[in-house]
Amino acid sequence: MKKLFLILFAFCSLGVFAQKDYDWKKMDPKQRKEIINKMSPEERKALLIKFRNNMVLEQLNIDADDKEEFTKLYNEYMDKQKQIKSQFDSDFNPETLSEEEAKTKLNQSFDVGQQMLDNRKEYAEKMQKVIPCQKVLKLFNSESMMRDKMNERKPHGDKKGSRP
C-alpha cells in the first residue's frame, strides 16, 4: 500500500490529473490519501493505470491522433508482461531448495525471462507501426529506469527469492 502511495505521489507531482476532476497536484498528501483510501481496489487500479498511461503519453510526446491506438497497444503489452511474470513464483528461499529444485527454478526463470523478451520484441514491432522507433526505444529505456528506481526503494532482504 505504501508503494502505491509513493507511485501515485510521483505521478501527481508530474501534474497528471485523474478522473472526477481531482487536482492531485494541488492536494496535500493527506487529502490524496483520504481520496485513495475511499476508492475500491478496482478504482485504485484504474487510477494507477490512467496515471501511468498519461505519464507515458506525455513523456513520449505522442501525437493526439496516435494516443488512443498507442495506449491500447501499451496496455496490451503491460498486461501480457504481467501475465508472463505471474508464471514464475518468486516466493521461495533458494537456500532451502535441493540442487535439482534449484536447477528447475533457475530454468523456469530463464523461460519466463525469454517469454518476456519475446513479448517485448513483438510489441516493439507493433508500436513502431504507430510511433517512431526512437520513441519505442525511449519507452523501453524509461521502463527500465522506472524499474531500477522502484528496486532502489524496496527494503533489502524482504523477499526470500528473486525475480526472473
Which tens digit of pLDDT belongs to each residue from 91-150? 889 999 999 999 999 999 999 999 999 999 999 999 999 999 999 999 998 887 777 766
C-alpha cell at 104: 528447475
Neighbours of 16 (CB within 10 A): 19
Q: What does the pLDDT look like over 47-106, one tens digit per residue?
A: 889 888 988 999 999 999 999 999 999 999 999 999 999 999 888 899 999 999 999 999
Query: How open is the CA angle 143-147-151, to the nearest 5 degrees?
Result: 170
SS3 (DSSP) at 16: coil
Tell me which DSSP letter residue 161 carries.
Answer: S
CA distance 26 to 32: 10
Residue 82: CA count within 13 A, CB half-sphere: 6
**Which residue has 517512431 as its cell numbers?**
132
In degrees, rounded to 5, the angle at the alpha carbon of residue 128 between the alpha carbons of residues 126 and 131 is: 120
